[in-house]
Chains A and B, each alone.
Chain A
Amino acid sequence: MIEVRGLGVTFGHGANAFRAVSDLSFNVARGESFGLVGESGSGKTTVLRAIAGLIPGVYGQLTVAGETLGQKRSKRFRHLVQMVFQDPFGSLHPRHTVDQILSEPARIHRMDAIKDRVVRALEEVGLDSSFRFRYPHQISGGQRQRIAVARALIIEPDIVLLDEPTSALDVSVQAEVLNLLNRMKREHGLTYMLVSHDLAVVSHMCDRLVVMQHGRLVETLSVEQLRNFTPEHPYTQQLLRASEGYDRAAVETLEDDL
């Protein structure tokens, strides 16, 4: 479904040029949940945005649903691929009502019966129609993310890119949103690419994952390897150890970040 070959992303020009991603290659099969894991600066979000066509400075070969991607994304791509962003406060326009936020993609893709689709989309993500005319600041973070999911799914895409969709949410709300995402995937036969720094979330959601550091691929592994704590690369092992909670002795084994 998604083929990435030699992906690189450079920010800035000349002397200020910064290689955010270098020489990345991986595949995502149809119907798979694929994870990208790494710490800040690893380039994982950049990879997602590169595939989404939201940033310049991208080189390498990207093929999505059989279409080789160029500089601009086609209408077909914009129908097939949608994205859910990290910040529930920032991904919804502060001056648009929920109704406007959900109607817009449907309108752009010239769908019919938009009002019905909006109501149905809200129901699917577990919100009733009383939410239709609220503004983002009148609803909670978890509810905003549900609306972000509804917005991504209203035009019935095949692939959803998820950029840390629950990092900014409370733990109890995170559980609800992750359950929602899994249910949507099952019911609509979606393919997911999930970026996260949280190994527990990735372990719960994904089938396979790649670990990134400083813009490079460190390791590709299956979720079983993660769950059994048997990755191969020492960096992945370090991440796993740090995810387990605070352990004074274990800290000594971590590489210093200075």
Chain B
Amino acid sequence: MPQTSTAVTLPDAGLRSWLLSDAPDSAFQARCQRFYLAWLIFQRNPIAMIGLLITLGLVLVAIFAPWLTRSSGLVPELMNRLQPASSEHWFGTDELGRDIFDRIVWGSRITLYIVGLVGIIVVPIGLVVGTVAGYVGGFVDNLLMRITDIFLAFPRLILALALMAALGPSLENAVLAIAVTTWSPYARIARAEALTIRHSEFIMAAQMQGASTAGILFRHVMPLCISSVIVRLTLDMAGIILTAAGLGFLGLGAQPPTPEWGAMISTGRQFLLDQWWVPTVPGIAIFVVSLGFNLLGDGLRDVLDPKSGE
């Protein structure tokens, strides 16, 4: 194809030209280039960058929690209860005298744990169920989709409550309950993508070569479904955090004295009028993190949307 672009003078930085070169020397370089170009598109969107910063902030706070806090946030100090914000306690203290700032910071680990664990469970299950259903079609598709529909029909919180009643309240069981009620839409999304891809010529080429169905699903279909699923996950994270907070609020999920943000709102709600910071600060934390994930998800969608590709 005749070149119509004018000669582009690439900046001399070695890394940048390595990332933009037209002839990568290795699979590694090729992959890095793809991420770099995606990054260039992503960082054009200021709102998405805010989302990314918030999310990164959450991760960094969780990692550096031991250095950011002065206490474990678990030991009651009844002399100090319900103190307002001061230089000593940046967010004040709660009803048991524990530093709220420290509890928020430690709680970030729990938040990340919940979303991470749910993500690790629902994405693979949704991908596998969805791509198999979409690609194989017929009876298998029907069977898998009806199973998906059954799980989709349950209201999230009610099923979670039922599972809690059966398994006993704990953080891990809360994660399981959320995962069980969250995976269905991912299967639907993966199936929709698989249906479009299934008749593509590159799939036919793979069939011509004698690739097995599993091979085609794993190497050809799933890589194309994964972007939509990841975007959905980031947009869903807000909901997952809120559900976990809801369970925590009801006293299911993380048990005291674990500083789970939802539980903090629950135990603090009676103090809303006079010591407003006790339930409000964890509420703001939940809000900020949910917003961050939402904005990140929106930004990712713009990047991964195939229509905006080269």
Contact = CB atoms under 8 A, between A and B. Distances in A.
A/B: CB atoms within 8 Å of each other: yes
Interface of A: 49, 52-54, 73, 75, 78-79, 81-83, 85-87, 90-95, 97, 99-100, 104-105, 108-109, 130-131, 133-135, 137-138, 140-142, 148, 151, 155, 170, 173
Given A95-B224, A108-B211, A133 B205 contact: no
A94 B224 contact: yes
A131 B24 CA distance: 8
A122 to B, nearest CB: 12
B219 interface: yes
Nearest to B310: A137
A148 B224 CA distance: 20
B24 A54 contact: no
Contacts, number: 85
Given A135-B30, A142-B1, A170-B1, A93 B202 contact: yes
A109 B209 CA distance: 8
A93 B208 contact: no
Given A87-B201, A95-B223, A133-B25, A52 B208 contact: yes
Contacts of A138: 22, 310
B208 A82 contact: yes
Contact of B220 (A83, A93, A170, A173): A93
Nearest to B1: A140
6 closest residue pairs by CB, A with B: A78-B210, A130-B23, A91-B201, A140-B1, A133-B30, A133-B24
Nearest to A109: B210
> What DSSP secondary structure best describes chain B's contact surface?
helix
Nearest to B215: A108
Contacts of A104: 206, 209, 211, 219
Query: Looking at chain B, what size class is its interface with the partner chain?
Result: 20 to 34
B210 A75 contact: yes
Contacts of A141: 1
Interface in B11-39: 22-27, 29-30, 34
